[in-house]
Structure 1
């Protein structure tokens, strides 16, 4: 199992829960009380205040330390903790790792088995990266659900209909239409991000399956030297998954590049001109890509 860094262990769900849990607050209060009582004999106000602050920090830090996951264990990976299509990607990665583990159990003891175990650690890391990307993709999908394209288009139609035919829009009307179009653009960017991320996950999972198959084939032929290229392939996959993970982590708002890369919508929203006469059918938000 791949070793977790202190940063990964600290920024984990158990620690996040401990920060705001009743037990964390109690530990803070208890530590502060002990610090105050321990410094009352010093006289004055400075001693108890400093003692309370230090005691509170010690108590709170102790509660957080207890919540840190063990260094040698990775995150609990549950494909059903995310929705489709992210669940499909996680299950593919876990399946590839399980195939490898089953094959390793059949290997005879010796140098080949030691080499294969090192490859297993890299596969563990790859699966953890897939899980991290899938969780971030799930967060984007949840945020996307809160953008109602149909309602925004209706608001856009209403705003545009208030502009007399052939007349110029007022500054307020222009800003209203622009704000509504920006909301639609945000939804389009999120759709593009989800599609591209899922496509990359599919590609990297396919390469992971290929590496596992090659490793199993080499184990049958007892060609220990052939594992070096396979190990390099898996390391490259882990690096690319890490880059994808980082790219999703850095996603903190719209950028010019994502606007340009977003695919055009089937129904372009009007800017400042009034809508065409006749009813328009509402457009539902684009759905996340189906698992392949």
Structure 2
């Protein structure tokens, strides 16, 4: 199967900087040695090195964790992401205050699951914002007014009714997503509060299993919500 070059690598391969580097290397070798073959070999080596470095940089950037920015969203979606981040911050504070040992080790495991949960909440909230944007692009009130002004047999009614039905479906999905995300945020807050409480106890490791299961459930539900919203653009 043929692999396509990443855009960053492709741009590096044909960029003026790459061409200038290769040309400079060739000119320098010609000046120093007078050998055309050596100049061509060095030029190819510089070109390959430049592309490889660009590829490594692109891979490194792609491997970096995506930045979660709740302020890129509007309410209520912004609130849900901020709430998830605050829960993660409270968990981190509890972890910091916990002495090294089995309890801290278990908290570290739970923290990995919680990180996934925050990421899933961010993804789901972005899909929710897309639903809101799609719904707002359809002016339901105006469509209804237009329908009210048409005769029952007017052929334009079918098109307006179809648009109004789309608006209704989007609004229904938006409200369902908002309600589910709000509920899962609350459950995440409860689980983190429980972790904070258990972190102050001696021998609270066994009780953390229940909390870990609760957080795991929330994470799975957040993922299911996000997957259910992945076709939001098609719904628009």
TM-score (normalised: structure 2): 0.74
Q: Give distance in 2, aligned partners of 1:194 and 1:218.
A: 36
CA contact (8 A) 1:74 1:128 kept: no
Contact 2:9 2:55 (8 Å CA) reproduced: yes
Is 2:140 the partner of 1:131? no
Q: Give yes or no for the alignment of 1:66 onto 2:47.
A: no
Whole-angstrom distance in 1 between the partners of 2:55 and 2:145? 51
1:101 maps to 2:92: yes
Structure 1 contact 93–127 (Cα < 8 Å) conserved: yes
Verify the 8 A CA contact 1:24 1:64 in the aligned structure 2.
no
Q: Give me the whole-angstrom Cα distance separating, in 2, the residues matched to 1:185 and 1:249.
A: 20
Q: Distance in 2 between matches of 1:254 and 1:26?
A: 35
**Residue 220 (structure 2) aligns with:** 239
Count matched residues.
Answer: 202
Equivalent position of 1:82 in the other structure: 73
Match of 1:209 among 170, 184, 189: 189
Q: Judging changes above 3 Å, is the alpha-carbon distance between structure 1 residues 156 and 28 closer, same or farther for their aligned structure 2 residues?
A: farther
Give the TM-score, by structure 1 length.
0.61
Segments of 5+ residues of structure 1 without an aligned counterpart are 1-17, 34-54, 164-168, 256-292
Question: Map of 1:184-199 to 2, 5 A cutoff?
Answer: 184-199=164-179
The reply on whether 1:150 has 2:141 as its aligned counterpart is yes
CA 1:64–1:148 in structure 2 vs 1: closer, same or farther (change >3 Å)? Answer: farther
How far 1:155 moved relative to its partner?
2.9
After superposition, the CA RMSD in angstroms is 3.1
Alpha carbons of structure 1 residues 105 and 254: separation in structure 2 relative to 1, 3 Å: closer
Kept in 1: contact 2:188–2:218 (CA 8 A): yes
Partner of 1:140: 131
1:241-272 deviations in whole A, cap 9, x for unaligned? 000000000335459xxxxxxxxxxxxxxxxx
Q: 2:124–2:225: 8 Å Cα contact kept in structure 1?
A: yes
Question: For 2:104 and 2:110, how far apart are their aligned partners in 1?
Answer: 10
Q: Post-superposition shift, 1:157?
A: 3.3
* 1:195-229 deviations in Å (ceiling 9; x for gaps): 11111111111111111111111111121111111
Q: Secondary structure at the match of 1:249?
A: coil
2:30 alignment counterpart? none
Counting helix residues as a fraction of each chain, which structure ranks higher? 2
